[in-house]
Amino acid sequence: MGLSTIETAGFTAPETPVPDRPSSLHEGLRVIERRDWWLWMCAVLITLLLTGGIVSFGFPGLHLHRAELNSAPLRDTILGLVGMVLLFDIYTIYQHFQIQAVRKQLIEREELFRLITENAADMIAVVDIKGRRLYNSPSYEKILGYTPQELGGTSAVEQIHPEDRENVLKAAAVARHTGVGTSLEYRMRHKDGSWRTLESRASTILKAGQVEKLVIVNRDVTERKHLEDQFRQSQKMEAVGRLSGGVAHDFNNLLGVIIGYGEIVQEGTAGESPLRTCIDEILKAAHRAAGLTRQLLAFSRQQVMDPRVLDVNVVVKDMEKMLKRLISEDVRLKTELDSSAMRIKADQGQIEQVVMNLAVNARDAMPSGGDLKVTTSNFHMDDEFVRRYPYPVLVGDYVLLTFADNGIGMDATTRARVFEPFFTTKEKGKGTGLGLSMVYGVVKQSGGYIDVISEPGAGATFKIYLPKVEVAVDPPKQQAELPPSLLGIETLLLVEDEVSLRKLSRHLLELCGYAVLEAENGAEALKVSQEHKGMIHLLLTDVVMPGMSGRALADQLMKQRPETHVIYMSGYTGQTVGEHGVLAEGSFFLPKPFTREALARKIREVLDGSPVLSGAD
């Protein structure tokens, strides 16, 4: 096709050949040409005729010597010639008006074309078969910073990213030999040195079956690619969260059995027995595993929350002394807290865990010491700001909690995975990779958003946006008085679909002196309640069960026995206890896995000091 390799590298292979057929613009040009030629020929012909007629009067010998012709008066002959000239002039004026009308249309079309090309968001270029640029739209300067003069004097291959040049050259070769190609994405260097991702499509203009020109349309898709990457990352995080929550649910049931029977064996084993150390280590490992599952639940946003109205400044101030002990002495902690109202509604324990985990992460990023700055401020998310996110973000007022360090920083690959569970850049044995994933889960479950800004060697900044509320801070919860005894004689209804955990729970409850009725699911529990003639003081039910959920069971049982108290237990709650996993005011929840003491304390707390509930609502 005659296209040079270097010059064709600046555009993609054509997608659809477009024959060079006449357009209305070309037809207009041809009409002007034909009329101009017709007028010129008519002018030459009339001029020759007039000239010949006038000359003939000076040469009588050229006239016919016939009486009937010679008798014609000279005056009539001259008038005829003059009339012919006038007719020709009128015709000429008419044709000129027609030509001017066509030229006006052409000018209007040219102006329309100029407006389209100069205001088009895409970059439009026309090149010939040798790769010479015939036209470059002004969008090149707006998007890439290059003027038409600069584009015309440089080789396009020098501006393409080295990793993309091979693909561009292959596409150019296809265009050169077949005239048909596909669309292509590649990176091109901006005038300021940055890289922009372009989506390029080209159409061929054919003449006599050969490619004469290429019309290339390039679109800057850099921001779109960035949003797509963010969206894919959020989808991956959501999928990993579901998986983590499911694993944590099953794992918590197993841990509950291990911890429960381990405590029974531990209690029955003398302290001097050689087996006592083994049992103690088994329980320690089980409790560490339970801590990991809690972090997984936090990441998957499936923890039950006890939200209260908090002042973020108070939370940070109360933790400041502990944070200074937590981070090493060569890390300087500085806080800048906005004095205005900084109230949010969240679970205080989880927010404190977020603060602690971010402080530890900053400490580990500064092995040689440095500065950690914690700030709070008010922030308003407007329509312009939320467009940066590929997922729905609510417009409104937020409290911005910022952690900024001057540590080693992160590259793009690390930033993309920083919130994934079990992802860590620390040495083996020095981190579980769940600290930041727990932060991510708590923030999202609290209705907030989190951003991370970091570059290698430039430290890292974590920005947490939590919805602001305009209500008074809730008073601190009063610590419940410990009952004198964890034993009881009341009747309890235990509902648990996991057989081994149901057997263990019944055994623990009976050891505490309770009369226990048990059921495998909600339907069986209602049947047991109908058959039991005495009072049922408390319903201890799992949340997630086949068929009927724990909440639905509680609602139905409360209609029959309004005096019955309810405790929900689960290691995986999702959105089943309350809306979005939030524990309703006055509800009671026992997280799995639990110890015998935790179970006994929760039951006595509900039976001795709490008002009778009317369901989970």
Q: What is the 3-state secondary structure (H, E, C) of 523-534?
A: HHHHHHHHHCCC
CB 434 within 8 A of CB 299: yes
pLDDT at position 460 is: 93
pLDDT at position 516 is: 93
pLDDT at position 539 is: 93
CA 101 to mean position of chain CA atoms: 54
Q: Are residues 412 and 326 in the same domain?
A: yes
Give a yes or no: residue 291 inside a domain.
Answer: no
Q: Are residues 389 and 331 in the same domain?
A: yes
CB 426 within 8 A of CB 364: yes
Q: Are residues 14 and 100 in the same domain?
A: yes
- Tell how strand 123-128 and strand 491-495 pair up: unpaired
Give a yes or no: residue 237 inside a domain.
Answer: no
Q: At which of 467, 482, 508 does a domain end? A: 467
CB 178 within 8 A of CB 206: no
Q: Specify the DSSP class assigned to residue 162.
A: T
CB 253 within 8 A of CB 498: yes
Q: Are residues 497 and 537 in the same domain?
A: yes
Give a yes or no: residue 280 inside a domain.
Answer: no
Cα separation, 434 vs 548, whole angstroms = 33
Q: Are residues 175 and 318 in the same domain?
A: no
Q: Are residues 398 and 509 in the same domain?
A: no
Cα separation, 334 vs 312, whole angstroms = 16
Domain residue limits at 524? 491-609
User: For residue 594, with 0-12 CB atoms within 10 Å meaning exposed, 13-18 middle and 19 or more buried, which class applies?
Assistant: buried
- The angle at the Cα of 529, spanning 526 to 532, to the nearest 5 degrees, equals 150
476 Cβ contact list (under 8 Å, min separation 6) = none
Give a yes or no: residue 394 inside a domain.
Answer: yes
Q: Are residues 38 and 73 in the same domain?
A: yes
- The angle at the Cα of 468, spanning 464 to 470, to the nearest 5 degrees, equals 160
Q: Are residues 409 and 544 in the same domain?
A: no
Give a yes or no: residue 483 inside a domain.
Answer: no
CATH classification of the domain holding 84: 3.30.450.20
pLDDT at position 424 is: 75
Give a yes or no: residue 359 inside a domain.
Answer: yes
CA 352 to mean position of chain CA atoms: 27
Q: Both tokens of residue 239?
A: 């999928």
E strands, 416-530, in order: 449-454, 460-467, 491-495, 515-519
pLDDT at position 10 is: 37
CA 255 to mean position of chain CA atoms: 36
pTM above 0.85, yes or no: no
Give a yes or no: residue 248 inside a domain.
Answer: no
Ranges of residues in the chain with a pLDDT under 70 are 1-33, 35-36, 39-40, 47, 50-51, 53-82, 117, 129-131, 152-157, 172-173, 176-177, 179-181, 230, 233-249, 291-306, 390, 422, 426-434, 476-484, 571-587, 609-617
pLDDT at position 21 is: 38
Count of domains observed in the chain: 3
CATH classification of the domain holding 586: 3.40.50.2300
Q: Are residues 520 and 450 in the same domain?
A: no
Reported as type and span, the H/E element at residue 486 is: none
Give a yes or no: residue 276 inside a domain.
Answer: no
Q: At which of 154, 187, 220 does a domain end? A: 220
Q: Are residues 72 and 191 in the same domain?
A: yes
Q: Are residues 526 and 435 in the same domain?
A: no
CATH classification of the domain holding 431: 3.30.565.10
Q: Are residues 371 and 497 in the same domain?
A: no
Q: Both tokens of residue 433?
A: 């990779």
